[in-house]
Amino acid sequence: MATMHILQAAPLTAAIRAIVKGTGSSDREADLVATNLVEANLKGHDSHGIGMIPRYVDSWKEGGLAVNAHVSITLDANALLRLDGNQGYGQVIGYEAMELGAERARRHGVCVVGLANAHHIGRIGAWAEQCIGHGLVSVHFVNVLSRPIVAPWGGRDARHGTNPFCVGVPRAGGDPVVLDFATSRIAQGKTRVAYNKGEQLAPGTIIDTRGDPTTDPRFTVVEPYGAILPFGEHKGSGLALICELLGGALAGGTTQSGNTARGRQVINGMFSILIDPTRLGTAENLARELEAYVAWHIASPPAAGVERVLIAGEPERATRRQRLADGIPVDDATWNEILGAADKVGMRRADLEAIARA
């Protein structure tokens, strides 16, 4: 088993903020990036957390990530917005895009947002949660422009990214429903985490460079590459195709067939629909039916080995409570990569360690 470092959220956030500042980011940008990444770790999505920082720093050094960039409006048609992320930090671009969309949704009842050309926008559930904070239901389709990593159903090599899909539904007086998943069996970052920990993947998750089944995560991390399989066979593969078309083409960006991402760059497109239930006139009905159905849903007798039936978003909230109390586990390989990123922005490793363990 890999050596694990247990780090508290607040000092870890400060350490990641210092690295981001080292790329030339403003205080606001560094705060948004660091808080978003640590929040992903808190919610158990280590694949989208601080382990992304080494890749961000490499992309910045290669010129693929623009520091202090902001979202641009390329089409303003009231309830329709087309936005360009200008290759900026996705944690900034995603936040700004959803704030623009939320203001329009409250004004018009709905807003359709096409976002193209953002650097890695991280855990998509964060953007659904932001919309929930405004009392909005939201649906998000995302494509990923980087090295293809997921095979289509029935294929033997990678043809698209992990292409996430996400839905957020606010819940008056209770925890919201947040469905957020990659259309691959697992997120690409989870294969990196497994590789760094020296762990094998579950059978039926990935294929090797010949297209044959394997459990060795190295085929998604180091050359020669294989591919992750889609979740749900043809269903997940079909949804990934839709995310490619909506998150890429319809949002105003490109698809993998025209992928120009280079080096360590990760470019996301996102097609989002934000709906105000109050303006739709169904807010009371939604609240009533949501509570009734959630109660019906979770009352199902649990299967063998299952404690109780959950709703989407519950596991993340439970993990967050536990990690806030006990600390965030970071494997030794990932931590050394983060220390290496500190080197690249001119920070002393000892200084970063001191901040992270304060």
Q: What CA dihedral angle connects 288, 293, 299 and 301, to 10 degrees?
A: 180
Task: Check residue 247 and give its pLDDT.
Answer: 98
Instruction: With a cut of 70, say whether residue 219 has pLDDT above it.
Output: yes
Cα(267)–Cα(248) distance, integer angstroms = 10
Least confident of 53-67, 79-93, 193-207, 265-279: 193-207
CB-neighbour burial class of residue 340 (10 A; exposed 0-12, middle 13-18, buried 19+): middle
- The answer to whether 193 touches 176, Cβ cutoff 8 Å, is no
What domains are defined for the chain? 1-62+327-358 (1.10.1530.10), 70-184+230-325 (3.30.1370.60)
State the pLDDT confidence band at 339, using cuts at 50, 70 and 90.
very high
Q: Residue 108: count other Cβ atoms within 10 Å of its Cβ.
A: 14
Instruction: With a cut of 90, say whether residue 317 has pLDDT above it.
Output: yes
Residue with the two structure tokens 């050094």: 61
* Mean pLDDT confidence for 190-217: 94
Structure tokens given for 159:
């043809």
Task: Check residue 172 and give its pLDDT.
Answer: 87
pLDDT in tens, 125-140: 999 999 999 999 999 9
User: pTM higher than 0.75 for the full model?
Assistant: yes
Cα(71)–Cα(86) distance, integer angstroms = 7
State the pLDDT confidence band at 174, using cuts at 50, 70 and 90.
confident
- The answer to whether 168 touches 133, Cβ cutoff 8 Å, is no
* Mean pLDDT confidence for 331-346: 96
The percentage of residues in the chain with a pLDDT greater than 90, rounded to a whole number, is 94
State the pLDDT confidence band at 3, using cuts at 50, 70 and 90.
confident
More confident residue, 313 or 197: 313
Instruction: For residue 223, give the amino acid letter.
Output: E
Instruction: With a cut of 70, say whether residue 271 has pLDDT above it.
Output: yes
Task: Check residue 1 and give its pLDDT.
Answer: 59
Task: Check residue 187 and give its pLDDT.
Answer: 86
Q: Closest by alpha carbon to 205, among 170, 234, 230, 223?
A: 230
Task: Check residue 189 and give its pLDDT.
Answer: 81
Instruction: With a cut of 70, say whether residue 197 has pLDDT above it.
Output: yes
Calculate the average pLDDT of the chain: 96
Structure tokens given for 342:
């500190």
Instruction: With a cut of 70, say whether residue 329 has pLDDT above it.
Output: yes
Residue with the two structure tokens 């090599």: 157
Cα(145)–Cα(160) distance, integer angstroms = 8
The percentage of residues in the chain with a pLDDT greater than 70, rounded to a whole number, is 99
Q: Closest by alpha carbon to 341, among 50, 49, 7?
A: 50
Cα(3)–Cα(329) distance, integer angstroms = 10
Instruction: With a cut of 70, say whether residue 335 has pLDDT above it.
Output: yes
Q: Residue 315: count other Cβ atoms within 10 Å of its Cβ.
A: 12
pLDDT in tens, 223-239: 999 999 999 999 999 99
Instruction: With a cut of 70, say whether residue 279 has pLDDT above it.
Output: yes
State the pLDDT confidence band at 193, using cuts at 50, 70 and 90.
confident
Q: What are the start-end ranges of the E strands in the chain?
A: 4-7, 72-77, 80-84, 110-119, 137-145, 165-169, 177-181, 206-207, 213-214, 227-228, 267-275, 328-331
